[in-house]
């Protein structure tokens, strides 16, 4: 279907700032990687040492969704486990929208990628020389490798960052915000970036790999760090890349809910080790919703928690491990134990208040099995993409795995193409004048907070036609005066990206008139396979700036 301009996700411009090549600094590289999380650094490690590579990351290398991953990485490691079982668990969680060939490819490559991490110095938890395997919701076997108890991402990123910094062909720019992708005649040729508050620089690259992570900051309640503002989704869409499945935002069921605390993830591995979910009356309620109890897939657990909160008229539910060995609990989850102890909670003895929070964007920039997007010269990997692995709902601990597999493929593909291209060091004739900025100042923080609250209220765990329409009208209204301005700092650019991504999520959620995976419509509570066994794709004509949506 085609959306009219009035129904475009938000009124938008091709570039957020003026582009004047004669007045700007230039930098040339063979491959540009946008994002310093696991997918981006894995891509950097795959590139030929003869290919110059620049990695730009919005904050410090250690500040990414990969860094905060608690639970672990899924792989068939136990001799009693089978690839076929991991594939089927992934397909079951994905609500029939997974691409089976992609799932099989990723699952079969998983042990190889894990062995690679171990060679690079990652220290997974082990006992007597054997790697310890956990279990999480939706998995039929023990297959989750973890590190530091509940800080797997931190340990993996430590090892991969150390290795990447030693690569002589790789340059890393931290605290560098990517404002937009550069395109010329439909081909990606780099990006315009702002380095630590300095005037924008044009980075010209033979090939570009987008690994910018997620967009959890669209919502008021989120496990994502503050940098996860959907910048990659927005810059790719503005450049003309196809994005799909934006209605599928995964809400993690158990996020620490304490006044004054950050919305810290309480890993699913806690339930895998035997924790119970109870309501404010102490009632263990999951048996009322699913026979798998606390180990049901995340979408089911999140929706069950919301239902129980409504029944009890209480703002949260609770995790309890009072029935488990206290020493084991504190040793297995040291990070969570410390965080909760700061608020007077002993996780071995006390109930932990939790509720769902935005956690992982299942949809994103469409890529093929090699990580290629719909724009020549642009590759992508990780959470910013829709690869076909997750379908309508990501299986727990498949995200780090996806970043490794597709990061390697995108890095390999981009490296081969870049190495075959001549060294031209050419500045292409890209000029653009943004709309003049109105003189009246905007309270960017207030608009951002209002947008996040709106998305949580109207496009959250449960959705309905009237609420989605309310959200769309408000986002569209914000867009009229926010997107008409040219900002000169990160906070303004982030707000414009958040508005665009919020619009895409809201429009996709409105179009999909069924419930599937993490997308729950209270006015269409059942899955409709006859009509909706398909994707919703958005793509903008970058020259005409007319968005279209296709089923």
For residue 344, the 8-state DSSP code is T
Counts for the chain of helices (H) and strands (E), in that order: 14, 21
Helix, strand or coil, per DSSP, at residue 119: helix
3-state DSSP of 17-55: CCECHHHCEEEEEEEEEECCCHHHHHHHHHCCCCCCEEE
Helix (H, G, I), strand (E, B) or coil at 63: coil
Helices assigned H by DSSP within 316-423: 326-332, 334-341, 399-420
User: Do 399 and 381 form a contact (C-beta atoms < 8 A)?
Assistant: no
Distance CA 251, CA 228 (A): 15
Q: How far is CA 400 from the centre of its chain?
A: 11
Instruction: Give which of 36, 30, 32, 31 is closest to 403, Cα–Cα.
Output: 36
Helix 490-511 to helix 465-482 angle (10° resolution) is 150
For Cα atoms 468, 469, 475, give the angle at the middle one, nearest 5 degrees.
90
Residue 405 and residue 105 in contact, taking contact as beta carbons nearer than 8 Å:
yes
Q: Which of 113, 238, 298, 485 is catalytic?
A: 298
Q: Can you tell me the distance from the alpha carbon of 80 to that of 546, in angstroms, rounded to the nearest whole number?
A: 53
Helix (H, G, I), strand (E, B) or coil at 428: coil
Assess whether 462 carries a catalytic annotation.
no
Enumerate the active-site residues. 298
């Amino acid at each position: 279907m085609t959306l009219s301009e009035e129904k475009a996700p938000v009124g938008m411009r091709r570039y957020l700032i003026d582009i004047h090549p004669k007045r700007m600094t230039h930098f040339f590289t063979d491959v540009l990687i946008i994002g310093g999380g696991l997918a981006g650094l894995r891509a950097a490690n795959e590139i030929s040492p003869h290919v110059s590579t620049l990695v730009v990351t919005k904050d410090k290398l250690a500040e990414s969704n990969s860094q905060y991953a608690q639970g672990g990485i899924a792989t068939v490691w136990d001799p009693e486990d089978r690839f076929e079982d991991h594939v089927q668990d992934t397909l079951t969680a994905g609500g029939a929208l997974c691409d089976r060939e992609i799932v099989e490819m990723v699952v079969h490559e998983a042990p190889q990628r894990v062995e690679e991490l171990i060679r690079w110095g990652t220290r997974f938890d082990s006992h007597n020389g054997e790697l310890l395997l956990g279990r999480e919701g939706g998995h039929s076997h023990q297959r989750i490798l973890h590190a530091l108890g509940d800080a797997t991402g931190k340990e993996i990123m430590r090892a991969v960052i150390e290795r990447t910094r030693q690569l002589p062909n790789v340059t890393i720019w931290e605290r560098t915000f990517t404002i937009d992708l550069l395109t010329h005649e439909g081909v990606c040729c780099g990006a315009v970036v702002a380095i630590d508050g300095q005037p924008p620089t044009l980075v010209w690259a033979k090939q570009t790999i987008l690994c910018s992570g997620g967009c959890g900051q669209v919502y008021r309640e989120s496990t994502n760090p503050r940098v996860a503002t959907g910048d990659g989704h927005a810059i790719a869409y503005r450049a003309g890349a196809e994005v799909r499945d934006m209605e599928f935002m995964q809400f993690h069921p158990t996020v620490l809910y304490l006044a004054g605390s950050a919305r810290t993830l309480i890993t699913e591995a806690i339930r895998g080790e035997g924790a119970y979910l109870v309501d404010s009356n102490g009632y263990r309620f999951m048996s009322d919703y699913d026979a798998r109890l606390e180990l049901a897939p995340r979408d089911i657990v999140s929706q069950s928690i919301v239902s129980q909160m409504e029944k009890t008229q209480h703002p949260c539910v609770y995790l309890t491990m009072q029935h488990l060995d206290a020493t084991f609990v504190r040793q297995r989850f040291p990070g969570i134990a410390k965080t909760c102890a700061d608020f007077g909670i002993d996780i071995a003895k006390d109930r932990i208040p939790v509720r769902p929070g935005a956690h992982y964007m299942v949809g994103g920039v469409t890529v093929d099995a090699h990580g290629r997007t719909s724009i020549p010269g642009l590759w992508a990997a990780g959470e910013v993409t829709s690869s076909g692995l997750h379908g309508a709902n990501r299986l727990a601990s498949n995200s780090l795995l996806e970043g490794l597999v597709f990061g390697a493929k995108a890095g390999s593909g981009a490296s081969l193409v870049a190495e075959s291209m001549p060294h031209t060091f050419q500045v292409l004739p890209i000029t653009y004048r943004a709309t003049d900025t109105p003189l009246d100042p905007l309270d960017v923080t207030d608009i951002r907070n209002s947008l996040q609250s709106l998305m949580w209220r109207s496009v959250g765990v449960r959705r309905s036609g009237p609420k989605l329409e309310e959200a769309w009208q408000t986002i569209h209204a914000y867009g009229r005066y926010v997107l008409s301005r040219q900002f000169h700092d990160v906070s303004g650019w982030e707000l414009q990206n958040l508005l665009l991504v919020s619009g895409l999520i809201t429009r996709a959620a409105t179009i999909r008139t069924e419930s599937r995976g993490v997308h729950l419509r209270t006015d269409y509570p059942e899955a409709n396979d006859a009509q909706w066994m398909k994707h919703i794709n958005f793509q903008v004509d970058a020259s005409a700036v007319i968005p279209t949506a296709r089923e």
